[in-house]
Amino acid sequence: MGWDLYDLSQRAAEFPDVLAILDRTPLADVTEKLGQLEPGVLFAGELKKFLDLWGNRAESTSEINAPTWIEDPSPVIQNIKAYIASDGEHPRERWNELVAERKARVSEVRNLLATYPEPVKRKFEELLKAAQKYNLILEDHNWWIDQMTPANLRHVFMEFGRRLTAAGSIPRPEDVFMLDGDEIIEAAKHDFSVDLLSVVQERIAETEYWSDFDPPLKLGREDATAQQANSPRSPGEIIGATSPDGLEQQEGVITGSPASSGKITGTARVITKLADAGNLSRGEILVTVSTLSPCTPLFATAGAVVTDAGGALSHAAIVAREYGIPAVLGTIIGTSAIRNGQQIEVDGDEGTVRILDK
């Protein structure tokens, strides 16, 4: 997807009129503006092809209330603008470098094992094949289950929302997500002509009330005897996350998990919503809560990554290592302690973020 998105940005760069539209037009009006010029129509066709293939992505992979890229292509357009502005190398080039490095490392290990007994060499090859197969399974799972399933569920519920809105039962189609399944089924039985306005308004108000609530890190007491019988370690330990209790925060220094090697000093760009991706300029340090697959194109622009959540085996860590940029994850307080535009130093080897200006 990242490769196709980069190719799409280079296609846009071929048309000065398209560049002007992307640069000067509010995101919500870009598609309409493109349709007013011949080069814009051509590029809009390319954009549609991209969305037909990759558009069933959304900011969240666990909720169905977030619009997909097909419905709102703003994140795609933001990333296109970021790619054009960055003038960086094609992500495929970095991937080719990693493939070459991997082949060299595998050859090195095979040479070291040349004098070992055959069972040892077979074991290495079995484990190598299993690790490579696991990565493919992980990618397929992320796309077909984490991305496609919520997206297709959303399309179904939005159709219910449109019918409820047409009948005057709810104010907007997206308000269908304020209803539970039984309420939607009951409305469908009555040709969608039911009064749900007060229910929706009450739940919208409740959602807004709790939207700024800062939840505690833990609820209740941790019972050491409650570990799963087949897993002696917690899920956080398995993905390499740092326990909040294990972080020793110092004045001017934020500590997290060292997740991708390297050290860099740069401007912090705090981004908590994918719609704000266009605010990230080339070489700036992405500071966010956590990342999911739709965020991957940002790594081609960022100089480093800092997150509140995650560990050495989380999405942000794996992609940061793939793109060769430093990452410090699981800081807990990164997005609240770091201000937008501050100069910070990210040390992906030590797992520290140093705030250089107050």
Quote the pLDDT of residue 247.
60
Same domain as 201, residue 124: yes
331 within a domain of the structure (yes/no): yes
302 within a domain of the structure (yes/no): yes
Number of domains in the chain: 3
Same domain as 141, residue 64: no
Residues 271-329 pLDDT 10s: 987 777 778 888 899 999 988 777 877 888 899 999 999 888 888 998 899 888 999 99
* Boundary (domain end) residue, out of 46, 68, 86: 86
Quote the pLDDT of residue 153.
94
Same domain as 194, residue 262: no
223 within a domain of the structure (yes/no): no
Quote the pLDDT of residue 342.
95
Buried b (16+ CB within 10 A) or exposed e, 265-291: ebebbbbeebeebbebeeebbbbbeeb
Same domain as 282, residue 182: no
HEC secondary structure over 296-327: HHHHHCCCEEEECCCECCCHHHHHHHHHCCCE
Same domain as 121, residue 65: no
The first and second tokens of residue 300, run together, are 């081609």
270 within a domain of the structure (yes/no): yes
Same domain as 251, residue 328: yes
In order of 58, 78, 158, 216, 297, the CA distances from 73 in angstroms are 10, 9, 17, 34, 14
Same domain as 350, residue 253: yes
Q: What is the reported pTM?
A: 0.78
Spatial neighbors of 233 by CB under 8 A, at least 6 apart, are none
- Phi/psi at 65 (5° precision): -90, -5
Residues 19-66 pLDDT 10s: 999 989 988 899 999 999 999 999 999 999 999 999 998 877 778 988
307 within a domain of the structure (yes/no): yes
Decide if 116 contacts 61 (C-beta within 8 A): no
C-alpha span between 219 and 192 (Å, rounded) = 40
Same domain as 56, residue 129: no
C-alpha span between 69 and 75 (Å, rounded) = 7
C-alpha span between 202 and 196 (Å, rounded) = 10
Q: The domain containing residue 277 runs over which residues?
A: 240-355
92 within a domain of the structure (yes/no): no
Quote the pLDDT of residue 267.
96
Sign, CA torsion 50/53/56/61: negative
Decide if 258 contacts 350 (C-beta within 8 A): yes
Residue (of 303, 313, 355) closest to 138 by Cα position: 313
Residues 118-162 pLDDT 10s: 999 999 999 999 988 987 887 788 888 888 999 999 999 999 999
The first and second tokens of residue 125, run together, are 């090859």
Inter-residue long-range contacts of 202-206, CB under 8 Å, 24+ positions, other chains counted: 203/178, 204/175, 204/178
Exposed, middle or buried by CB within 10 Å (0-12, 13-18, 19+), for 72?
Answer: middle
Q: How far is CA 198 from the centre of its chain?
A: 35
Residues 224-254 pLDDT 10s: 555 555 555 555 555 555 555 556 567 789 9
103 within a domain of the structure (yes/no): no
